Amino acid sequence: MIMGILKTYIEEQAENKKLSVTEWMQKRIDEIPFCKIATHVGKFSHPDAKVTLYDTSDSPCKGYVATSNSAHDVDVSVNAAYMGTAKLLFDKLLDDGHNVFFHVVTGSSLVEEEFKALHLDEALYHIFKERILQCSQPSFPDTTDGLLKQVYFPIGGNAYHLLTVMPSSSVLLKLKGKVKQLDEHRKQCREAGADYDELWDLTAISFGGTKPQNISYLNSANGGTAYLLPSLPPVLSGRQVRKPKRNFFRESLSFRNYKYIFKELHVLFKEDRNNKQIRDAVRAYIDQLISQAMMTAYALRREGEGWSDDGAYASLPQHQKIWLDPHYALQRKEEEWREELSADFGRWVIRTYEYILKKESCTLGDGEMHFFKHKFRDELDKAVRCE
């Protein structure tokens, strides 16, 4: 049976306060309602802000870092006077590495067994459990706090939503724990002469000054500091575009750069359904491929007028030269070359998909070819009109 740490902790705390175990526990139970369980604590923006938010949603936010799809710990907005109760609930006082709050909310009997080992009244545990379950419910404030920053967000028609910016303190301090683990791993690797990853240019930010316990439980547990990752524009080096000798799509567009797109398309091709959502997703991925093809073509045009007339590119089809070489700019107004180029794109999509997925690939026929070809043709016509 796993027990001992919690029992010893309660006995020591009661002794330090010169209280019986029952009296000490009763005091903690009375203070639980003053502990605001939260994922977002307004005090991280302003120390006097009272607003908190406890978000337990699991809605996916694809493409964005959000509390719902990131690892995070539950925080507690609490005054320093009630920090002892917050520690009882959230310090890791069970031998399995979890805290009291986790075991009670998940229905574990482990905490109840520790209460029995302390010879506490069974009714006292049920009150303790009820108070924790009450404060563990998701909570969203009805109003904001005037001390927090407000943002007027336009929604059209000269109307706005007034939004309150609240940092996810639970994610912020989970990040610090991850950085600390990475740092410890780095030290071990250096001692062993092994390779390791390292984060550079971290910025330490402080909350609460000399009294971090007045901000939140997690802030106190982390010494009042957290880390900010660098948010800087990328340093891009010039990328050489390969000049095609026979086929632009096969030679200038490396399939390795778009492998993930074809794998996502494969998932959609396998779907039994054929609803609007599936079709829109397929269009979005094809649009990405078209966009990459267009940008690569524009990069080749910067190689200078007449580059395709060199003997090394004699086997490059004329319709591709018209698209890629500024020397043929006047001929781009014609129609015939666009049809041939669009067919090249359609064949490239199908053949690249089959090459990447191999035996797992779905059979793509005339219908798909027609779709890929005409999707590219529409974008090509728009591009030519804008030149």
Crossing angle of the two packed helices 122-135 and 110-117, in degrees rounded to 10: 140
| In contact, 99 and 91? CB cutoff 8 Å | yes
Could you tell me the two tokens for 278?
Answer: 């599936």
Q: Which of 170, 379, 220, 157 is CA-nearest to residue 290? A: 379
Separation between Cα atoms, residue 84 and residue 216, nearest integer Å: 12
DSSP H or E segment with residue 218 = helix 217-221
Q: Give residue 1's pLDDT.
A: 35
Q: Amino acid identity, residue 365?
A: G
Separation between Cα atoms, residue 15 and residue 237, nearest integer Å: 65
Could you tell me the two tokens for 335?
Answer: 């129609």
Separation between Cα atoms, residue 324 and residue 336, nearest integer Å: 15
Q: Give residue 71's pLDDT.
A: 81
Whether 235 has a pLDDT exceeding 80, the answer reads no
| In contact, 90 and 56? CB cutoff 8 Å | no
- Please name the residue that has the structure tokens 């079709």: 279
Could you tell me the two tokens for 122?
Answer: 């069974």
pLDDT confidence bin for 190, thresholds 50/70/90: confident
Q: Domain ranges for the chain, please list them.
A: 5-135, 170-228, 248-386
| In contact, 208 and 224? CB cutoff 8 Å | yes
Q: Give residue 305's pLDDT.
A: 92
Per-residue pLDDT reduced to its tens digit, 331-345: 999 989 999 999 999
Whether 139 has a pLDDT exceeding 60, the answer reads yes
Per-residue pLDDT reduced to its tens digit, 274-293: 888 899 999 999 999 999 99
Distance of CA 203 to the CA centre of its chain: 20
- Segments in 240-361 forming alpha helices (H): 248-252, 259-269, 276-301, 318-324, 336-357
Q: Which of 49, 26, 215, 233 is CA-nearest to residue 125? A: 26
Separation between Cα atoms, residue 78 and residue 69, nearest integer Å: 26
Contacts of 137 (CB under 8 A, 6+ apart): 54
Whether 237 has a pLDDT exceeding 70, the answer reads no
Q: Give residue 55's pLDDT.
A: 86
Q: 386 vs 155, which has greater pLDDT?
A: 155
| In contact, 361 and 266? CB cutoff 8 Å | yes
pLDDT confidence bin for 231, thresholds 50/70/90: confident
Q: Give residue 60's pLDDT.
A: 64
The end-to-end CA distance of the chain, in Å, is 76
Separation between Cα atoms, residue 347 and residue 368, nearest integer Å: 10
Contacts of 15 (CB under 8 A, 6+ apart): none
Separation between Cα atoms, residue 98 and residue 103, nearest integer Å: 7
Per-residue pLDDT reduced to its tens digit, 163-188: 888 888 889 988 998 999 999 998 99
Give percent of the chain above pLDDT 70: 97
| pTM of the predicted structure, to 2 decimals | 0.57
